[in-house]
Structure 1
Amino acid sequence: MRDSAKILSIGKNGSVTVLPVIKDACISCNRTSCAKAGSPFTVMNPRSLNVKPGMTVRIAAKKSSQAVQALTALLLPVACAVGGWFAANALAAAMNISSGEWLQAIGVLLGIFVPSGIIFLISRRVKNAHGEITEIVADE
């Protein structure tokens, strides 16, 4: 993520409240919503740039947060799907039923959708990591 935002206020401990400015236009844009503002959120100023309210800055997501998100959202469901494949065979042996492909398919589907649903629910409740200001675009 790399977007422009307007600074609303500067808090203590390096936190800055910004309002993202959405400049991208859709393919079928009729110019009614270009450069509209999004919802305010908090970012950090790790480089201690001299920022003031009203300035336009460029913000970016932390690389470590992006890596954790990618690993969690992609690798965990795939690993659970593989585990579901093997767990289906073990479950069938423990229950003395024949292990068919239908049981393995159910194990794979549960292994994909259950962790994905859990990740979705957790991501709605956990507060996201703060982005950071990378540069000053305009001084207003």
Structure 2
Amino acid sequence: MKDNAKVISVKNNKNVEVVPLITDTCIGCTNSSCTKQGKPFIVRNVQNLPIHQGSIVKIVASPAIQAIQAFFSLFLPLAAAFIGYLVTPKICIFFGRSKPITEATLIAGVLLFFCATSILIFIFNKLFKTNRYAIIREIVM
């Protein structure tokens, strides 16, 4: 994520309240003073840049946080689906299925493991919220 934002208030040396400047809707427009604004949120000023109310800053998401999000939202459910494909025949044998295992049974196992992991990640994120702040990279104006 790389975006421009307008500083609303400086909370302390590190926390700054900003509102995003959404300019993608005005690509063909030459009037730059009428950009639409989104909801305010808190970003971190880790470089201690000299910002004040009304400054336009470029904000970026932390690469470490993005990597962690990619792991939990993409890799973990896909790995669980693969494990579901491998484990489904063993589960069927454990529960006494005497018929040969069909592709439909394997697909059901893949979907079950994929959905269960996705739901667990969703519940975990709702229960344990952490403050993941974007970072101010530079002052634009």
- What TM-score, normalized to structure 2? 0.85
SS at match of 2:139: strand
Q: Deviations over 1:16-69 (max 9, x none)?
A: 110111000279x9x9xx721011000001111011011010000000011111
Aligned to 1:60: 60
Q: Scaled by the length of structure 1, what TM-score is found?
A: 0.85
Aligned-residue Cα RMSD (Å) equals: 2.2
5 Å-filtered alignment, 1:1-140, equals: 1-12=1-12, 14-25=14-25, 35-97=35-97, 98=99, 99-124=101-126, 126-138=129-141
Stretches of 4+ aligned residues off by more than 3 angstroms: 120-125
The answer to whether the Cα contact below 8 Å between 2:73 and 2:118 also exists between their aligned partners in 1 is yes
The count of residues paired between Structure 1 and Structure 2 equals 134
Cα distance in structure 1, aligned partners of 2:70 and 2:109: 23
The residue matched to 2:25 in structure 1 has which SS? coil
**1:67 and 1:53, CA in 2 relative to 1: closer, same or farther beyond 3 A?**
same
* % same residue: 37
2:24 counterpart SS class: coil
- Alpha-carbon offset, residue 100 of structure 1: 2.4
Amino acid of the structure 2 residue aligned with 1:107: G
